[in-house]
Amino acid sequence: MDNCIFCKIANHIIPSSIVYEDDYVMAFLDTSQVTKGHTLVIPKKHYDNFLSTPHDIVSRVMIVAQRIGQIFIKDFKAKGVNILTNCYEAAGQSVMHFHVHVIPRYIASDGFRLEFKKNDELKSLNLPAIANQIKENLDHNKD
């Protein structure tokens, strides 16, 4: 895509601090470092998000993300790693090109928060019915 910033990085039009590159995947430091080493892993070909990316490309991206996360633990002495992706604006996706954040965590109080809170308004949900609906749709939408 012509005006996708990640496509421009993948095509070496915009410079970046690349930490990994092969024919399909590129990883580079996020210019907005949440913590030291915060890395983005992208497919070099444009896909809007995780949900629209072919399985083989998702696998390649996640393998690279895993390897980088392992380096943060072993060599950077991080105490943990967040590996995450967002799909669509409502979920926080700001660049519409599939990317995975690999965020090393050195201390719990580093300022980055990913928090899951109980929503009291959802207490009365019928979890078995929701699970069945998901299962039925998985069965009907097999690749």
What confidence score (pLDDT) does residue 143 get? Answer: 61
**Residue 80 resides in a domain:** yes
**Residue 95 resides in a domain:** yes
Q: Total structural domains in the chain?
A: 1
End-to-end CA distance of the chain: 26
**Residue 122 resides in a domain:** no
Distance, CA of 81 to CA of 72 (rounded, Å): 8
**Residue 28 resides in a domain:** yes
* Both tokens assigned to 128: 């078995």
pLDDT tens for each residue of 126-139: 989 999 999 999 88
**Residue 130 resides in a domain:** no
Domain at 42, CATH number: 3.30.428.10
99 part of the active site: yes
Q: Choose the catalytic residue: 38, 55, 99, 101.
A: 99
Mean pLDDT score across all residues of the chain: 94
